[in-house]
Amino acid sequence: MRIILAQPRSFCAGVVRAIDTVEHALQRHGPQVYVRHEIVHNKHVVDKLKAQGAVFVEELAEIPTHAVAVFSAHGVSRDVEAEAAERGLRVLDATCPLVTKVHEQGRRYAAQGYSLILIGHAGHPEVIGTLSQACAPVVLVQSVGDVEALTFPADTPLAYITQTTLSLDDTRNVIDALQARYPQIVGPDTRDICYATQNRQAAVRELSRLVDVVLVVGASNSSNSARLREIAAQGGVPSYLISDGSELARDWVCDAKVVGITAGASAPEAMVEDVIAALGRLANVEVTTLPGREERVVFRLPSDLS
SS3 per-residue string spanning the chain: CEEEECCCCCCCHHHHHHHHHHHHHHHHHCCCCEEECCCCCCHHHHHHHHHHCCEEECCHHHCCCCCEEEECCCCCCHHHHHHHHHCCCEEEECCCHHHHHHHHHHHHHHHCCCEEEEECCCCCHHHHHHHHHCCCCEEEECCHHHHHCCCCCCCCCEEEEECCCCCHHHHHHHHHHHHHHCCCCECCCHHHCCHHHHHHHHHHHHHCCCCCEEEEECCCCCHHHHHHHHHHHHCCCCEEEECCHHHCCHHHHCCCCEEEEEECCCCCHHHHHHHHHHHHCCCCCEEEECCCCCCCCCCCCCCCCC
Which positions are catalytic? 126
Residue type for position 154: A
Which residues, 6+ apart, have CB-to-CB distance to 305 below 8 Å? 21, 24, 25, 28, 92
Q: Are strands 34-36 and 55-57 parallel, antiparallel or unpaired?
A: parallel
Cα–Cα distance for residue pair 277/158, rounded to 1 Å: 51
Residue 32 and residue 67 in contact, taking contact as beta carbons nearer than 8 Å: yes
